[in-house]
């Protein structure tokens, strides 16, 4: 199970990223009110340009924040860290206190002194991955257009094709159009949230692939995950092929307190699934540095719930039961 300091940092990480995404979503909704379906091309283009500028700025925040998390998290887990994202030379060592200060600065939080702040941390040689800005821009534009303006355009095109609709200023049509615009606004806000967090998630993903100390990855859920995300978290860590080989393959069953042998946890999902995020999702994928059981308290609870809810079930039947269970308990 995660050490207290690491578990607290992981919790702070997804919450800090969530604040970035939620702020972008709120701005997206506010600006969406300027989109006029009667001048969709002009007003939609203006909205898209404004949103892209905002997302670019917040992607930088997400990336800088993720780098500060990565440096502190790695130090807590291994006693070693990597140089700053800025590339600035800072010597061959740093301290936990300095890394915590950087994290507090990036998250705009007040940091309290810790007893081990003076602990010296060695800096390993490391090259941070560059952000593929053009690729991220293309993804943002495609997502915002498909979830926003394109949905309104699709509704208008359907009206044009319907000969029985009558006048376009009909009260029923206007009400329906307003609802379609509102729905598109909410969808595009969710897309904006996701796109703002893309850079931070991508940085962690790419940096951890380069990090020779990483042995695997785990999904960390936000405070109110969907069934799919909760399932991913409940499965704990997946390991690199090298780490699995070094560990002798799959884990053996553990004895429970009553002396009976527990069944193995379900086989882990593919690594690609760990890095799949839907609109409105604030989960994160984090690297792991030890084959010790990597489970947050929430993930351990989801594991217990899965075993209870899906007892005697497999495959699609188990997934359906799990989805009903999580959806009925979500706030």
Task: Give 1's pLDDT tier (boundaries 50, 70, 90).
Answer: low
Domain count, the chain: 2
User: Do residues 100 and 9 share a domain?
Assistant: yes
In tens, the pLDDT along 293-328 reads 778 888 889 999 999 999 999 889 999 999 999 999
- What is the share, in percent, of the chain residues with pLDDT greater than 70? 87
Q: Among all chains, which residue has been given the structure tokens 């009553």? A: 258
CB of 326 closer than 8 Å to CB of 230: yes
User: Do residues 245 and 187 share a domain?
Assistant: no
The residue from 166, 181, 213 where one domain ends is 213
The residue from 193, 213, 233 where one domain ends is 213
Mean pLDDT across 117-145: 97
The per-residue b/e assignment along 39-51, b for 16 or more CB within 10 angstroms, e otherwise, is ebeebbeebbeeb
For position 158, what pLDDT does the model report? 79
* Cα–Cα distance measured from residue 171 to residue 108, given in angstroms and rounded to the nearest whole number: 48
User: Do residues 205 and 178 share a domain?
Assistant: yes
For position 245, what pLDDT does the model report? 53
Q: Which domain holds residue 111?
A: 1-213
Query: Which residue did the predictor score with more confidence, 249 or 29?
Result: 29
User: Do residues 164 and 245 share a domain?
Assistant: no
Question: In angstroms, what CA-CA distances link 135 with 42, 66, 293?
Answer: 25, 19, 36
Instruction: Count how many residues are written for the chain.
Output: 331
User: Do residues 226 and 166 share a domain?
Assistant: no
User: Do residues 105 and 13 share a domain?
Assistant: yes
* Cα–Cα distance measured from residue 134 to residue 85, given in angstroms and rounded to the nearest whole number: 20
The per-residue b/e assignment along 13-38, b for 16 or more CB within 10 angstroms, e otherwise, is bbebbbebbebbbebbbebbeebebe
- What is the share, in percent, of the chain residues with pLDDT greater than 90? 69
* Cα–Cα distance measured from residue 297 to residue 198, given in angstroms and rounded to the nearest whole number: 26
The DSSP secondary structure of 106-140, one letter per residue, reads HHT-PPPP-TTTT-EEEEPP--PPPP-HHHHHHHH
In tens, the pLDDT along 40-80 reads 999 999 999 999 999 999 999 999 999 999 999 999 999 99
User: Do residues 194 and 263 share a domain?
Assistant: no
The residue from 213, 234, 267 where one domain ends is 213
122 has a pLDDT exceeding 90: yes
Ranges of H-type helices in the chain: 4-32, 40-78, 96-107, 133-147, 149-161, 171-210, 227-234, 241-246, 271-274, 297-309, 315-329
User: Do residues 52 and 156 share a domain?
Assistant: yes
């Amino acid at each position: 199970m995660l050490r207290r300091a690491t578990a607290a940092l992981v919790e702070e990480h997804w919450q800090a990223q969530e604040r970035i995404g939620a702020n972008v979503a709120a701005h997206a909704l506010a600006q969406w009110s300027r989109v006029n379906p009667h001048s969709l091309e002009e007003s939609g283009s203006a909205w898209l340009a404004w949103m892209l500028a905002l997302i670019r700025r917040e992607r930088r925040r997400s990336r800088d924040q993720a780098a500060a998390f990565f440096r502190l998290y790695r130090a807590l887990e291994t006693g070693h860290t990597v140089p700053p994202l800025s590339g600035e030379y800072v010597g061959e060592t740093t301290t936990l206190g300095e890394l915590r200060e950087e994290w507090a600065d990036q998250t705009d939080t007040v940091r309290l002194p810790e007893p081990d702040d003076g602990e010296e941390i060695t800096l390993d040689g490391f090259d941070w991955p560059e952000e593929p800005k053009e690729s991220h821009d293309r993804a943002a534009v495609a997502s915002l257009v498909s979830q926003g303006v394109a949905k309104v355009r699709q509704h208008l095109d359907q009206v044009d094709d319907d000969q029985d609709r009558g006048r376009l200023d009909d009260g029923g049509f206007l009400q329906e159009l307003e609802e379609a615009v509102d729905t598109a606004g909410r969808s595009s806000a969710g897309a904006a949230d996701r796109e703002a967090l893309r850079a931070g998630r991508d940085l962690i993903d790419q940096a951890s692939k380069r990090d020779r100390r990483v042995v695997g990855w785990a999904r960390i859920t936000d405070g109110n995950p969907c069934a799919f995300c909760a399932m991913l978290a409940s499965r704990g860590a997946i390991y690199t092929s090298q780490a699995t080989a070094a560990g002798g393959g799959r884990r053996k069953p553990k004895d429970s307190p009553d002396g009976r042998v527990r069944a193995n946890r379900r086989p882990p999902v593919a690594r690609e699934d760990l890095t799949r995020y839907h609109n409105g999702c604030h989960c994160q994928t984090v690297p792991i540095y030890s084959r010790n059981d990597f489970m947050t308290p929430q993930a351990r609870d989801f594991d217990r719930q899965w075993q209870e809810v899906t007892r005697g079930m497999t495959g699609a039947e188990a997934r359906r039961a799990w989805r009903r269970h999580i959806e009925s308990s979500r706030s």
